[in-house]
Structure 1
């Protein structure tokens, strides 16, 4: 089971269990037990590696002080054997809610003094909330057992431990946030926004040997973790990253600590604090820090436009250089807090509402000081509806203490997203598009622009994005001459200049010169013109050549080298390779191609994780196909056949059992023919017979009714013609049933043969099928891109032709002709005196 399958299973099961508990609260319980399982398994792994076995493990109790100290020294905590998660599962029949209360109490008591800051009170939410799981100890016990069963299959023994657990953890946080509305949205940063911020920050830090990162409104800790993951790609060891987090809400603060620990971060690299960031900054006399906190990067997604108390803050070192934010909006208070804590060569990224770019008063003064002190590096406008619980558009602002340049890069990415339910989501291609332009600081029409300090001053320090980057669609214009006399203005053909540059002869093939400023369309069959154009042929041929080269690279890297693939970096490497191969194709949106790669990468990555964890033999492994079915009013997991662990049965069937499936198709076609014959008989019956013999809808014979009616007709012998029809229907139904049985048996046999074949495949045979799963569909979509480009051009040219195909003179002629016809019709009408006067007046209006 890969991590996506595991997360989906947990969410499905969780939905069935949380009817009496708010989603945001239920999250705390399920994630708390996942964390407890993680800690239990870490201790169990340590003990087993040191030689403990089934006989000696029960001796690991609190009374054995030497073992207690040994485990505390290595893990920072101690869990006795009776309190281990695995013991609870093993002795489920004797399990009781009191076991959890005693275990959590013991855990708090047995934390090592050196790790108390990391673990103290971390299960407080779970411990105090157990009573909400039921009205009695019995109902609470039942709910907890269901939870334990739900999470017991999370793998703990592979090299991907932290990644799998982290994925499940983040998946649940995101799903609960999406389904719990604003309450969850207060602390959750959507994964895609977190990845974007992390990539931007990590790129700035990529040359450092060790780094410190800080989130003063840490929430779930996802921002910190994603930055750590991105930055670790450039470091010798992930242990060279120190994580600092501060969070106001106690429940969420515990979530931060759990998440950091579960990702395998050493407790000695975790520094967390439960406090109000604006009121209680990390002071110099903190015993663990010993000095003011200055870090390489600060990231935050603070609550938007929150009220705060600015009283007495004017001399606070965080604010005295820039000013104090108004009490009704703390946005700049959080920003200045973050800026204060970065080193001179550090960077910060913060999510804020658009208002901080243009609001006046104290905020306007702070913004002016930030600009004049050259702190603002980049502003990225995000799409609306991208955060849970709020539809307001937001920005990411990057700031630094010292910069070589003094311009500001402004990016408007508001048009780059995809719809996902009620929300908008950044795609992988959108993230890459933004990241690339921030790194290169390029000016791209309708997307990005570097703005000089002088221009910002001239705009009175207003940084509102539309002032500098106009991403709106151009207004439709109409040429008066072309509207009157026809033709297409050459000025409107200029927007296709990139096509004329790539296809130099195409324009002449499409249009005739009408005069100096206008052209007319030569022919209407654009498709034929495109097919016959040699430049378009060359364009497609060159693209297919690069596509074939990329396909060979994919085969070499992913199929032949599947055990050596670096799962953390491979998609980036493949993306860069794809960009390189498409660099000469100005008509191709390389980010569209990258999105195709990313869509397929999600499946490839899940499979590669399993293969690297289990060896190449995972390719030929089969799993029970488990489905949920109702049994005695309950959902019960039931096996329905088998499925491929990596390779879908369909691929095996398509390659090795085509003849068998052809036979099934023939039988199914025969059933279709029989069904038509039965329907014909049914339709030709009179309504009374039909009502007695068919179902309520009148679409099918009811077999028992048909049999009884045949018996009656044989006995009475009064309608031989009807008897003949019904006998034929009965015969056809029996034949249909026999064929259906044959099809079912054949499919079961093929299913069994497929299982045997898959399990007996050689590695090379299996790799050929994996190629069909991973690479073939990816390449099918990639090679469609040139055709999509030409279809887009064809559609735009047809729209332009239609725009001026009917002139105003033509319309005037049509109106005049219609008026003439109407006047003639009036002459043929008769009526009384007043009717005729009215018709004469109407003819006068028409000019007749």
Structure 2
């Protein structure tokens, strides 16, 4: 089971188990136990690395002060053997909720002084909430036991670089957020938004040897971690990143700490704070040594997704250095207070990104004054308008603002990214191609029609510092227009053909081959079949050949970067490497949207990355592993897992059959095709029977199915009768029953043969996968990974051509029937109708009404 499948299974089970507990609360229990398992397993690994025997491990207790101090000194805490997660699992029926209470209490006592700030109170939410899992100790014990069984298979041995653990943790946080309604915004920034901010931040700080990043409203810590991961792709040593996090709500603050610790970040690189960002600024010091430990905190990067338009108290804040230069946000909306807090903590060469509601761009009053100061001092660098409904719990439009302390330019890049998304349930989600397009536009700072624009400060000043995005970027598609002359007299407006200029530029002689130009503003089609002429045009054919030539070495190159380095390549960096090669080949080719191509890459990359993770974690032999195919079925009213055959951990059975057992697969499919034909014939015969015929014993009471035994019996009697009296009429009931009997008999034989052949092929495929040579594995991986990607990429030129055909067909159809044609048709129809009215007979009053209608139709 890969990490995605394991995470989905845990979520599904957890969601069923949580009973009446709200998702927002239940997350604290399951995530807390996952964290406790992580700490327990980490202690066991440390003990094994220190050559502790199994007996010595079992003897671990608080009574051995020397061992306690040794372990605390190295990992920052101590857990006795009786309190280990693995011990709880071993106890089975003897496990009790009191064991958890005792363990969590002991953990708090046994933290090393140097790690107090990191670990102290980290299980408080879990500890104080256990009673909500049931109204009796027995029910609480049962609920906790179920949770422990659910998460016991999450690997935490470090072989995966904590990626499996981290992925599952993030997956669960995201799923709980999706089910927590408005409360989700308190702890979660959607992953795609987080990735977008991360890419922008990482590009700015990519060349630095050491980096400090800060999230002032850290929530679950996911945004901070994503930025760290993006930055790490550009750094030789990820331990050179230091994380600062501040969060107001205690249970959410605990999530931040857990999330950071479990990612293998050095404890010395984690600095967290449970405080009100606006009321209690960071300047951090140790209570025991305030002078020497004071840190005003200026950082390379600051990010945040604060609560939107929150009330706050600006009184007595006028002298606060965070706000003194720019002004105080109104007490009803703290959005700019959070922004100014983040800006204050930036180094001179730092960068920040903050998510805020769209209203911060244009609201007046105190906010307008702050906005003016930010623009006049050249702090505001970029505005990104996001799609609506992208955040859990709110449908309001949001923006990402990117700011700097010092800039060389004064313009502002405004990006309207509100139209690029995919629908997912009630929410909208940024696609990989959307993220890539936005990030590229922001890092290069370029104007893209209907998407982005570099706006000079003078224009912002002229607009009284109103930053409402539609003032500067019109992302709407042009409304369809109708040419009056062409609507009346026909012809194709040259202006509408000119709008397809990219195509005429790519195919210079195609337009003249399709339309005549008589010197007027209107052209005429000169071919009947536009589609055929376009597809057969030499320039269009050459376009496909040019694309093929640009990618002629792409498949061999992919073999080199994926298959030849399969166990050593760096998975997080590989997609970026492939996208660079993809974009380089697309650069000289007209018409094709490189971000559409990137989406194709990302769609294929996700399953490839899963396979690579398994191979790099478990070794190349994982490609030859076959696992039981477990499915969930109902048994005695309960869901139980049962095995239905086998499945390859890496190798799909169907791919292996298509490649190495095609003869047997074709024979099986031939039988299945014949079975489909017979089934259709049986259904057709049944439908052809009269209702009276369906009343016979050969058809069931519902009249929708033959009774096989009765059909066979009656057909036998009818055949005997036919020998004596001659054949029946082909359309008769008797002839149909004889045919149905033959088909039903063949259907039964085929079903048995198919079942036997499928089972034999299934077992043969299993044996084949387990015995694959290295060369066969690589060939199959190329067929699974590279060839489908190659094929979809090579469909792009045809997509462009078909798009042109659709657009031209629409223009031709639009003006093919003129207003005059319609008017003549209406007049002719009215005349015919008037003539028909004269032939009608009716009572006196109806005749008067018909006469008046006839007069109107005649135009009198």
Check whether TM > 0.5.
yes
Aligned to 1:400: 404
Write the distance in 2 (CA, Å) between the matches of 1:182 and 1:244.
Answer: 26
Aligned to 1:664: 668
Aligned to 1:698: 703
Write the distance in 2 (CA, Å) between the matches of 1:314 and 1:306.
Answer: 19
Deviation at 1:830, TM superposition (A): 6.4
SS in 1 for 2:194: helix
Write the distance in 2 (CA, Å) between the matches of 1:540 and 1:711.
Answer: 62
Q: Tell me which moved more, 833-842 or 211-220.
A: 833-842
Deviation at 1:536, TM superposition (A): 1.1
Q: Map of 1:520-559 to 2, 5 A cutoff?
A: 520-559=524-563
Aligned to 1:275: 275
- Aligned residue among 495, 500, 513 for 1:496: 500
Aligned to 1:197: 197
Aligned to 1:355: 359
- Aligned residue among 804, 810, 823 for 2:821: 810
Aligned to 2:179: 179
Q: Map of 1:742-761 to 2, 5 A cutoff?
A: 742-761=753-772
Deviation at 1:148, TM superposition (A): 1.2
SS in 2 for 1:625: strand
SS in 1 for 2:261: helix
Deviation track 1:297-341 (CA, whole Å, cap 9, x = no partner) reads 110000111111111111111111111011111111111111111
Change (3 A) 1:230 1:833: closer
Deviation track 1:704-731 (CA, whole Å, cap 9, x = no partner) reads 76689899999xxxx9999998788667
Contact 1:212/1:242 (<8 A) preserved: yes
Deviation track 1:541-566 (CA, whole Å, cap 9, x = no partner) reads 11112233222221111112211211
Aligned to 1:89: 89
Deviation track 1:570-589 (CA, whole Å, cap 9, x = no partner) reads 11111111101100123000
Deviation track 1:434-456 (CA, whole Å, cap 9, x = no partner) reads 01111111111111111111111
Contact 2:77/2:111 (<8 A) preserved: yes
Matched, 1:390 2:394: yes
TM-score normalised by structure 2 residue count? 0.94
Write the distance in 1 (CA, Å) between the matches of 2:517 and 2:759.
Answer: 68
Change (3 A) 1:673 1:487: closer
Aligned to 1:470: 474
Change (3 A) 1:677 1:437: closer
- Aligned residue among 776, 796, 799 for 1:765: 776
Q: Map of 1:387-536 to 2, 5 A cutoff?
A: 387-536=391-540
Write the distance in 1 (CA, Å) between the matches of 2:146 and 2:850.
Answer: 85
Write the distance in 1 (CA, Å) between the matches of 2:141 and 2:503.
Answer: 69
Write the distance in 1 (CA, Å) between the matches of 2:500 and 2:694.
Answer: 68
Deviation at 1:678, TM superposition (A): 5.2
Q: Tell me which moved more, 477-486 or 4-13.
A: 477-486
Aligned to 1:103: 103
Aligned to 1:377: 381
Change (3 A) 1:360 1:725: closer
Matched, 1:574 2:616: no
Aligned to 1:791: 802
Q: Map of 1:7-406 to 2, 5 A cutoff?
A: 7-283=7-283, 285-287=285-287, 289-406=293-410
Matched, 1:603 2:607: yes
Matched, 1:801 2:801: no
User: How many residue pairs get matched?
Assistant: 847
Q: Tell me which moved more, 369-378 or 535-544.
A: 535-544
Deviation track 1:651-709 (CA, whole Å, cap 9, x = no partner) reads 11112222222332343344445546655775658737746443343232345766898
SS in 2 for 1:537: helix
SS in 2 for 1:55: helix
Deviation track 1:440-486 (CA, whole Å, cap 9, x = no partner) reads 11111111111111111000011111111111121222222222221
Write the distance in 2 (CA, Å) between the matches of 1:681 and 1:583.
Answer: 59
Deviation at 1:614, TM superposition (A): 1.5
- Aligned residue among 640, 645, 653 for 1:649: 653
Write the distance in 2 (CA, Å) between the matches of 1:400 and 1:670.
Answer: 69
Write the distance in 2 (CA, Å) between the matches of 1:406 and 1:677.
Answer: 76
Change (3 A) 1:354 1:826: same
Contact 1:830/1:836 (<8 A) preserved: no
Write the distance in 2 (CA, Å) between the matches of 1:473 and 1:728.
Answer: 60
Contact 2:694/2:703 (<8 A) preserved: no
Structure 1 gaps of 5+ residues are: none
Contact 1:691/1:698 (<8 A) preserved: no
Write the distance in 2 (CA, Å) between the matches of 1:401 and 1:157.
Answer: 42
Deviation at 1:838, TM superposition (A): 6.8
SS in 2 for 1:548: coil
Aligned to 1:739: 750
SS in 2 for 1:246: strand
SS in 2 for 1:568: helix
Write the distance in 1 (CA, Å) between the matches of 2:859 and 2:235.
Answer: 87
SS in 2 for 1:56: helix
Q: Tell me which moved more, 156-165 or 135-144.
A: 156-165
Deviation track 1:620-644 (CA, whole Å, cap 9, x = no partner) reads 1111111112223221222222110
Aligned to 1:777: 788
Change (3 A) 1:710 1:91: farther
Deviation at 1:782, TM superposition (A): 0.8
Write the distance in 2 (CA, Å) between the matches of 1:374 and 1:427.
Answer: 31
Write the distance in 1 (CA, Å) between the matches of 2:415 and 2:684.
Answer: 66
Q: Tell me which moved more, 331-340 or 278-287.
A: 278-287
SS in 2 for 1:273: strand
Contact 1:381/1:414 (<8 A) preserved: yes
Write the distance in 1 (CA, Å) between the matches of 2:739 and 2:475.
Answer: 70
Deviation at 1:176, TM superposition (A): 0.9
Write the distance in 2 (CA, Å) between the matches of 1:312 and 1:685.
Answer: 91
SS in 2 for 1:91: helix
Aligned to 1:847: 859
Write the distance in 1 (CA, Å) between the matches of 2:812 and 2:144.
Answer: 68
Change (3 A) 1:105 1:705: farther
Change (3 A) 1:298 1:822: same
Write the distance in 2 (CA, Å) between the matches of 1:724 and 1:473.
Answer: 63
Q: Tell me which moved more, 509-518 or 428-437.
A: 509-518
SS in 1 for 2:531: helix
Change (3 A) 1:521 1:114: same
Write the distance in 1 (CA, Å) between the matches of 2:423 and 2:710.
Answer: 52
Deviation at 1:44, TM superposition (A): 0.8
SS in 2 for 1:768: helix
Write the distance in 2 (CA, Å) between the matches of 1:266 and 1:350.
Answer: 26
Q: Tell me which moved more, 806-815 or 162-171.
A: 806-815
- After superposition, the CA RMSD in angstroms is 2.6
Q: Tell me which moved more, 51-60 or 292-301.
A: 51-60
Write the distance in 1 (CA, Å) between the matches of 2:622 and 2:603.
Answer: 23
SS in 2 for 1:355: helix
Write the distance in 2 (CA, Å) between the matches of 1:626 and 1:64.
Answer: 46
Deviation at 1:348, TM superposition (A): 0.7
Aligned to 2:568: 564
